[in-house]
Amino acid sequence: MVGLAAAFGSGAMTNPIEDIEKAEVILVTGSNTTKNHPVIASYIKRAVKFKGAKLIVVDPRKIPITRFATIWLRQNLGTDVVWINGMMHVIIQEKLYDEAYVKTRTVGLDELIKAVEKFTPEYVEHITGIPKEALVDAARLYAGASAASILYAMGITQHISGTDNVKSLANLAMLCGNMGIPGGGINPLRGQNNVQGACDMGALPNVYTGYQKVDDPAIRERMAKAWGVEPPSQPGLTITQMMDKALSGDIRALYIVGENPMVSDPDLNNVRKSLDSLEFLIVQDIFMTETAQMANVVLPSAAFAEKDGTFTNTERKIQRLRKALDPPGAAREDSDIICDLSSRMGYTMSYNSSLAVMEEIARITPSYCGINYERLERGGIFWPCTGTAHPGTPCLHMDQFTCGLGVFHATDYIPPAELPDEEFPLYLTTGRLLYQYHTGTMTMKSPGLNAIAPECFVEISPEDAKNYNVNDGELLRVTSRRGEIRAKARISEELKPGTIFIPFHYAEAAANMLTNSSLDPAAKIPEYKVCAVNVDTAI
C-alpha cells in the first residue's frame, strides 16, 4: 500500500476484478491465485482460455496457474526488484514504452532510466536465475499489450524490499501506459475479507478514515469537531512495533480484536515473550485462540453471519453484510462491545445501528461520502464515491493520478535479510492452502476441510529430498535461528531445489516459529517469504 501510495497517491487495486477479462496481457506475481483467490483465478483462467489473453507468471514455485501461462519466470526468492527493473531495462532499450503517456502523466523517467541501466538481462539472469531470453520475451509481451494488468499479493509485499517491489511494479505499469485504462492497472489481491475496509476506516497508526493523515492539523481539527475530543497528533505504532514496545514495557496493555498474532505473526517465540510482558491483555474473538489463551479478559463476539454492516473488498467495492443468525450465548457484536466499553471509560459512544455508524463515516470521509445503506441495497459501490449522486469509481487514475502526476521511483536490489549459509542452508518460504484460512480459527472447525488438509507439511523438491535423505511422508524437523517445528515431508515438483515451503495455518507446527521478523522499512511488513532454515529427519 505504501508503495502504491508513493507512486499514485493511493494504494489499492486500481481496477475492478471484472477488468481482468479485458486485459490483453496479465502479469501475476507473488500470488498463488488458484489457492488464495480462487474466484479471481477463474477470471484469469477465463481471460486466457476464452478471451485470448496472454499470461505471464513470475513465481519461484510452479503454482497451478502456471499451467495457463504463456511465460513462467522462476525467480530466486527475494529478487523481485531485479527482474522488474530488468523488464524495464529491455522495454527502455527497445523503446517499447508508451512515450506519450509517460510524457503527459508521469514524472521521474530520467531517474528511472538511470536506475535500471545496470539491470541488463545478463545481470538479471545472474541474480534471479531467470534466463535472459525469457526475461526479454516477457518484457516484450507485457509492453506490447494495449492493456496489461498486474496482479500481485503477499509474495511481493512480504519482503524487506516489499515497498520497493511494489514501487517497481508501479514503475513498470506507468512506463507502459497501463494505468487508468480498462483492463490495465496494478492490483494487489487482499487476503482477508475486510483488510481493505480496515485500512479505509483508519485502523492504521498514521491515518484516519479515507487515508486522511493524522499529522495534518486541518484534518485533525475536523475529527476533533466530529468526535468532541482532541485526537493525538503524532502517528502511532504498527503491530510489530507495538510488540517490541510491549517487550520493553513501554506498552502495558493491548486490546486485540479478531486477531491471532500467536500464529500469524513472525518469530512466535518473540511474540509470546511480548504478550507475556503485558500487564493487561484484552482479547475479543469468536473462539479461544492461541492469543486469547494469554489474555486477562476474553470478550466473546459475533461472527460475520451474526451482524449487519459493510465490508470493502479487494477491488474497493463496499458491500453489505447482513445479519442472519443470533450470536451464541451472551456473545455480542463487536460494535456493541466497543461502544459499551468506551462509555464505561468515560467517552460515550452510542449508535442505533451500523447504519448510523456509516452515516458518521460518510460525513467525515471524502472517499466514502456518497455511501449509504439505501444505495448499497441495490449493489456494491466502488470508492471513491464523493456524493450520493456519484456512481463510484471502478477504475482509478483515469484522467490523472490521485496525486496529479504519477511518480517513478528508482529502486535498487536489496537482498533478503537472511540468506542461506552453512548452518541453515535452505530457503524457507511460507504461504497458504486452498482448504485452510489464515490461522485456521474458522476453517479448522470444518470436518471436511480438515479431512482434506489435516496437518502441516513441508514441501521439498525431489532433489533436496534426495540430498537430505528424506522420504515422502517422513517426519521432518525444520530449524531456523528463531525456533523449530516438526511436520511431514511432502515431495513436490512445484519447488525449486534449495527452497522449501510450509503453510503457516497450523498452530501446532507454526511456520512462524521459523520466520524472520525483519521488516520492510516503509510498510513495516515482515519478511515472511524468505528465511534460512535447516531440515533433518526428526528423531
Partner 1 sequence: MNITIKDRELEVKEGQTVLQAARENGIYIPSLCYHDRTGPAGKCRVCVVEVEGMAGLHTSCSLEVSEGMKVITDSEKVLEAQKLVVNLLLSTGKHDCLSCEQNGICELQDVAYYLGIETPAFHMADVKPEIDDSSEFVYLDHSKCILCGRCIAGCNGTVVNEVLDFGYRGHEAKVICDNDVPMGHSSCVQCGECVQLCPTGAIIDKLRRGKGRPWETHKVQTTCGYCGVGCQIDLHIKDNEVIDITGKEGVGPNFGSLCVKGRYGYHFLNDPARLKTPLIRTNGSFREASWDEALDLVAKNLNRIKQESGPDAIGVFSSARITNEENYLMQKFARATIGTNNVDHCARL
The least distance separating partner 1 from the CB of residue 297, rounded to whole angstroms, comes to 5
What are the CA-CA distances from residue 350 to residues 225, 334, 372, 374, 464 (Å)?
Answer: 17, 13, 19, 21, 60
The least distance separating partner 1 from the CB of residue 370, rounded to whole angstroms, comes to 14
What are the CA-CA distances from residue 255 to residues 259, 261, 278, 300, 345 (Å)?
Answer: 10, 12, 11, 13, 14
Residue with smaller CB distance to partner 1, 92 or 361:
361
Residue with smaller CB distance to partner 1, 296 or 537:
296
Bridge partners of residue 26, in order along the sequence: 55, 149
Q: Which three cell numbers stand for residue 259?
A: 486477531
Q: At residue 405, what is the residue type? A: L
Residue with smaller CB distance to partner 1, 435 or 468:
435
The least distance separating partner 1 from the CB of residue 95, rounded to whole angstroms, comes to 36
The least distance separating partner 1 from the CB of residue 48, rounded to whole angstroms, comes to 8
Residue with smaller CB distance to partner 1, 279 or 508:
279
Bridge partners of residue 457, in order along the sequence: 488
Residue with smaller CB distance to partner 1, 155 or 266:
266
Residue with smaller CB distance to partner 1, 329 or 399:
329
The least distance separating partner 1 from the CB of residue 206, rounded to whole angstroms, comes to 7
Residue with smaller CB distance to partner 1, 103 or 344:
344
Bridge partners of residue 148, in order along the sequence: 25
Residue with smaller CB distance to partner 1, 301 or 516:
301
How many Å apart are CA 366 and CA 373, to the nearest integer? 17
The least distance separating partner 1 from the CB of residue 133, rounded to whole angstroms, comes to 29
- As a 3-state breakdown, the chain gives helix, strand, coil percent values, each rounded to 5, of 40, 15, 45
The least distance separating partner 1 from the CB of residue 336, rounded to whole angstroms, comes to 9
Q: What are phi and psi of 294, to 5 degrees?
A: -95, 0
- DSSP of 277-344: H-SEEEEEESS--TTGGG-SEEEEB--GGG--EEEE-TTSEEEEE---SPPSTT-B-HHHHHHHHHHH
Residue with smaller CB distance to partner 1, 135 or 278:
278
* Closest listed residue to residue 426, CA positions, set 391, 465, 387: 465
The least distance separating partner 1 from the CB of residue 437, rounded to whole angstroms, comes to 6
How many Å apart are CA 180 and CA 406, to the nearest integer? 11
The least distance separating partner 1 from the CB of residue 73, rounded to whole angstroms, comes to 22
What are the CA-CA distances from residue 197 to residues 200, 226, 253, 312, 356 (Å)?
Answer: 5, 20, 25, 5, 17
Contacts of 118 (CB under 8 A, 6+ apart): none
Residue with smaller CB distance to partner 1, 82 or 199:
199
How many Å apart are CA 103 and CA 87, to the nearest integer? 20
* Closest listed residue to residue 303, CA positions, set 281, 322, 317, 290: 322
* Closest listed residue to residue 176, CA positions, set 108, 115, 87, 110: 87
The least distance separating partner 1 from the CB of residue 147, rounded to whole angstroms, comes to 19
